[in-house]
Structure 1
Amino acid sequence: MTVHDDLASVQRCLDDLTRSVGRLEKQLGSTSLDLRRVRTDADHLRESVALLRAAAAAGPTAARPELVTIPDTPYDGSLWTDSDDEGLGARDRHAP
């Protein structure tokens, strides 16, 4: 299956879920806190699938961030000459 087919399958399942929640609301009433949570969760799933569809339409390269290379060389020690050692106080001073 392709990504498009999988997303279409997920969308059909969400449509079924939405219809089932609607039937439950008719039977139990929409005032139930638990049922409102289920409705909200189903709506969030629908929004997430829409975002996935948009990302899939943009292609796999758009979703991958550019890698940043971090060098293995040590940092210049002069960057920290005015800082304190964390938890030990200032350099060249004794702890109480």
Structure 2
Amino acid sequence: MAASRWAQRNQDTFARAWLDGYEIEKEKLYTVEIEGVSSGKLFKNIKTNKYLFHSGNGLNGYTDKLTETEIKQKDERLWRFAVPVEEN
């Protein structure tokens, strides 16, 4: 298992995290919306990881909150339309 190999190779780091606790930094999320296009918001299917553009909010089984990697995976050119999602 990859996790156990990592722990073996990084025993000091693992021990410090175990004893002191640790915090995983969440990756920033973005939405992509192209203004002037009727179906201009990018969504990703949560189960299939397939993307589509749609003109609404709350599409069942889809999310519009995407990481930089997800956006660029779909198309590098979409990154210029990315807007950070405000954290609550």
Name the TM-score, length of structure 1 as normaliser: 0.24
- Which structure would you say has the larger RCO, counting Cα contacts within 8 Å and 6 or more residues apart? 2
Rg larger for: 1
The structure with more helix, counted as a fraction of residues: 1
The structure with more strand, counted as a fraction of residues: 2
Name the TM-score, length of structure 2 as normaliser: 0.25
